[in-house]
């Protein structure tokens, strides 16, 4: 299975490396060409001059770009070289409707589209430990098992196209709540004068342990917010969730509150930092020493 990766960011670069390790990677493409050149040289694969050329030379096209509009732009660029026998699996986090629109365009060429958003963060992508939530043809998901296994530890078929993204929305609401809980509790610990390395270690070994505390607890208390997962991208995901909730006639407190907090941090220039930069706002609460909500 000749596989190509489009979008060599925090997630895509690790995914490409693991596909190369499994002997499945043929080709890469990235909008900023220098990233693609460097990675292709490291992995000894070809850099495609454009997405269509990558599609011409690959059976499986993995896309992992930022936003809905970016996914559709990449899909449109692939279309001239898509045909029966080729499959596009999109690992970006986008709206269910956008995944369905991509599916419609890809299907018209005879190729297959799967929405396959991931969880596991940059570390999961680098370690080949991602979890895939797949929507689309179940037989195709099964056929692509070697590709999924090269990049991840688990793939679950959730239903038709869009079901993967709907599942990812559940994940992103949960991630917002975890971010709120961890940043708030650690800011409290720091304000209480505790040894924060010990706090992260001991709390991380008990019932409140979680991935985010383990991976980001130490760095956030030291004031380092290197992504990871960019705050502006989680804002994008929660905006998608907000729309899905509105369709159900519901607004959820965690979603509303986190969107408000992220909006403020983005306005202050922190959108390209990791989502753990929410710690900045929580720390400020203690510095201001008042009881006002953010
Ligand atoms: P990132 O580091 O910001 O990388 C984004 C990638 O998308 C870059 O390669 C960028 O190219 C490319 N891109 C953006 N717009 C494009 C366009 N219009 N045409 C072509 N390429 C375009 O983001 P990331 O963290 O890898 O996230 C990628 C996707 O995975 C997002 O949908 C995100 O929500 C999702 N995700 C992220 C994580 C995480 O922990 N980071 C976890 C799960 C899912 P340039 O290099 O030219 O900018």
Residue-wise pLDDT tens digits, 93-132:
999 999 999 999 999 999 999 999 999 999 999 999 999 9
CB atoms within 10 A of CB 70: 15
Does 284 contact ligand 1 (Cβ within 6 A)? no
Out of 38, 65, 276, mutate this one to test ligand 1's pocket (max ligand atoms within 8 Å of CB): namely 65
3-159: CATH topology = Rossmann fold (3.40.50)
Tell me: pLDDT of 289 over 90: no
Does 215 contact ligand 1 (Cβ within 6 A)? no
Q: How far apart are CA 172 and CA 153, in angstroms?
A: 19
Domain covering 166-288 in this structure, CATH number = 1.10.1040.10
Tell me: pLDDT of 206 over 90: yes
Cβ atoms of 63 and 4 closer than 8 Å: no
**Is the link from the previous residue into 228 a cis peptide, with omega within 30 of 0?**
yes
Does 9 contact ligand 1 (Cβ within 6 A)? yes
Say which of 86, 168, 230, 282 is annotated catalytic: 168
Q: Would you say the C-alpha torsion 38, 42, 43, 46 has a positive or negative sign?
A: positive
Tell me: pLDDT of 45 over 60: yes
Cβ atoms of 148 and 155 closer than 8 Å: yes
Q: Report CA 15 to chain centroid distance, whole Å.
A: 12
Structure tokens at 278: 């929410």
Pairing of strands 118-119, 130-135: antiparallel
Q: Would you say the C-alpha torsion 16, 19, 21, 23 has a positive or negative sign?
A: negative
pLDDT in tens, 228-266: 999 999 999 999 999 999 999 999 999 999 999 999 999
Does 99 contact ligand 1 (Cβ within 6 A)? no
Alpha helices in 83-210 (DSSP H): 96-107, 121-127, 138-143, 145-151, 163-191, 196-203
> Is residue 86 annotated as a catalytic residue, yes or no?
no
**69 Cα to the center of ligand 1, angstroms:** 12
Out of 8, 55, 64, mutate this one to test ligand 1's pocket (max ligand atoms within 8 Å of CB): namely 64
Q: DSSP state, 48?
A: P
Report domain extents, the chain.
3-159, 166-288
Prediction pTM value? 0.96
């Amino acid at each position: 299975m000749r596989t190509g990766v489009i979008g060599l960011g925090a997630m895509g670069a690790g995914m490409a490396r693991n596909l190369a390790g499994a002997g499945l990677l043929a080709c890469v493409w990235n909008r900023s060409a220098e990233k693609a050149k460097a990675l292709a040289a490291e992995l000894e694969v070809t850099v495609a001059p454009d997405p269509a050329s990558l599609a011409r030379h690959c059976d499986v096209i993995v896309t992992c770009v930022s936003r809905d509009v970016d996914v559709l732009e990449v899909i449109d660029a692939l279309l001239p070289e898509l045909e029966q026998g080729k499959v596009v699996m999109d690992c970006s986090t986008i709206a269910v409707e956008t995944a369905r629109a991509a599916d419609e365009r890809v299907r018209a060429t005879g190729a297959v589209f799967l929405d396959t958003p991931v969880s596991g963060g940059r570390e999961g992508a680098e370690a080949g430990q991602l979890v895939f939530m797949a929507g689309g043809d179940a037989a195709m998901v099964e056929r692509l098992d070697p590709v999924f296994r090269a990049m991840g530890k688990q793939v679950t078929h959730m239903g038709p196209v869009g079901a993967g993204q709907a599942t990812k929305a559940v994940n992103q609401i949960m991630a917002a709540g975890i971010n709120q809980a961890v940043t708030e509790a650690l800011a409290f610990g720091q304000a209480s004068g505790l040894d924060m390395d010990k706090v992260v270690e001991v709390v991380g070994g008990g019932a409140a342990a979680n991935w985010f505390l383990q991976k980001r607890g130490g760095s956030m208390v030291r004031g380092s917010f290197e992504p990871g997962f960019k705050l502006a991208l989680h804002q994008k995901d929660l905006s998608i969730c907000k729309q899905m909730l509105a369709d159900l006639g519901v607004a959820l407190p965690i979603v509303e509150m986190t969107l408000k907090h992220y909006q403020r941090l983005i306005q202050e220039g922190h959108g390209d930092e990791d989502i753990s930069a929410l710690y900045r706002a929580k720390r400020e609460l203690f510095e201001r020493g008042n009881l006002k909500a953010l």
